[in-house]
Chains A and B, each alone.
Chain A
């Protein structure tokens, strides 16, 4: 790996992403866990930047850190005993082993020539603009159907969320 800005950025963002993830699962404080989650999500946003998708990076930060993580923070703050979570690691070792095994399969498959040569494919030089992205979402030849279906899905989820959350004693 050459030592250039991109590879350094990659290392930094990887530290953010993985470190944040480890932080989430190890901390006993729910609130700190949320902060760690934000760190991890920020690292993912960094990956998007490295992959020349600044719009997705912005969306990642706006939606995941700006909205979802903040929502979680609110939820955590409304919860009692934020700092006294008694975590019990149920079968810590087997879990670790299974995760590592899955990771190794993926890692070896990508880096080792299991099925023949490793052929890194280069991304096309043209980077999709925000406009292309928007067009792909709503253009009839793009992903308009999943987009519409997702809206139905969100409607259902919202009805359900309201139903579950409302304090209905009627």
Chain B
């Protein structure tokens, strides 16, 4: 029998304290299952509140372990890393989930499908995202990715149950099914890639891969080939999760069919998880796949091509969308492209830190803005999924001036107009790209931003300049959604106006 430590020994040795944000959230969620079970008819109040409280608890725990000293960072025997990168993204995930939960209650009540499982799955998915940004091992990356994804598959199909009126939403079922099949397909690439990397390096631990990789590359044997092909497959698997071209095809279909709060959530947390893993794997573990003289990683070309394709396609296709949710879906593809630009920039030796910081700020800005935009779309959408077309918001400025205002600011932020968070993010990303020598990519980024103004501004125009067909849109939303919009708006403006705030927050981040 092997020696097992006591709990006390385990806690100290494993540095369990630094995993608290994630573990507390999981534990809370499991408690919430029971609360939901016994809450009876009151669950429509009780469960979302419990979910919000759990996010708050996790948030507080995260503040305590945010950016620990260097020797305190790895936890659970190297499987888990809690550095400033983790701490920052945890906050983004928790806020995103909070906004999504606030939106959800209203949506579910309106659709007549209020079930406690919704919040439990949401929290589990976010816990998966938090574990993913903290993953320091390919196996944890994979398991956390599944924990992030599987609840999302179900949430996407959440409207496939009969609602209180006995109706089914087939589009939601199709959405969940499509997401599930393609997600499983891409997970296979991820696992195969991880297996090849493990075969080449003999370890799945990310820092250890960094140690072993130079020797593997120098040996110039078939192991080198495994490492390279493994990297390619990892990019494919994670590229699907962050929805970059050419792995983006599922995005509009799934986003459109899924319940709107779920779309909002998955457009943020799934991307955060995927990008965190991509950054950790490519920047930390595989940065040694360097060209001898240029000082850039071998994967930079590939990532640059993907980024450029994503920017062009995402922005251009978004133009021709009439449905707001579909438009936002394509815009989210485009935004993944901007983050990809930062990732490509991180491939140049020396600019890895500034590029990573740029990516994080971009993610923060995108989170607030995108969730806010989805929240506004949700308030004007009809329960049956209709009413979310661009013509339906005509004259919104007259009937709901407050809402139209918020939507305008979100659209400005998505475009990247100064004094909004979106501008700060774009600025930092392009600056990093130029610093890394990727001027061409930066130019494509700026140009596509101009293109994006076309479709974002069309929304604003429709709200303000065109008269409505007659009837005024009723105020459907509740106090929960209003809170979600307010928080998103506050975030968008605060980080946009106080420009140094975001860059100070991420100044400690260094993962290279």
Contacts and interface: CB of A to CB of B under 8 A. Distances in A.
Nearest to B173: A164
A106 B151 CA distance: 33
Contact of B10 (A110, A115, A140, A156): A140
B477 interface: no
Interface in B143-197: 143-144, 146-147, 150-151, 153-154, 157, 160-162, 164, 166
Interface string B436-466: 0000000000000000000000000000000
B14 A110 contact: no
Contact of A168 (B79, B127, B161): B161
Interface in A88-139: 105-106, 109-110, 113-119, 121, 135, 139
Contacts of B13: 140
Contacts of B223: 119, 121
Tell me what chain B mostly uses at the interface: helix, strand, loop, or mixed.
helix
B2 A152 contact: no
Contacts of B164: 170
Contacts of A140: 5, 10, 13-14, 76-77
Contact of A156 (B150, B228, B229): B150
Contacts of A169: 162, 166
A146 B220 contact: no
A105 B229 contact: yes
A159 B10 CA distance: 30
B128 interface: yes
Contacts of B157: 164
B363 to A, nearest CB: 23
Nearest to B164: A170
A106 B232 CA distance: 12
Nearest to B158: A163
B2 A117 contact: no
A143 interface: yes
A159 B397 CA distance: 42
A152 B220 CA distance: 41
Contact of A160 (B80, B117, B131, B166): B117
Given A149-B140, A163-B161, A168-B161, 6 more contacts: A115-B222, A117-B220, A153-B146, A156-B120, A156-B147, A159-B124
8 closest A-B pairs by CB:
A116-B220, A160-B154, A145-B79, A109-B225, A156-B124, A119-B221, A115-B224, A153-B147
Interface of A: 105-106, 109-110, 113-119, 121, 135, 139-141, 143-146, 149-150, 152-153, 155-157, 159-164, 168-170
7 contacts: A110-B222, A116-B219, A121-B223, A145-B137, A145-B140, A156-B128, A162-B117
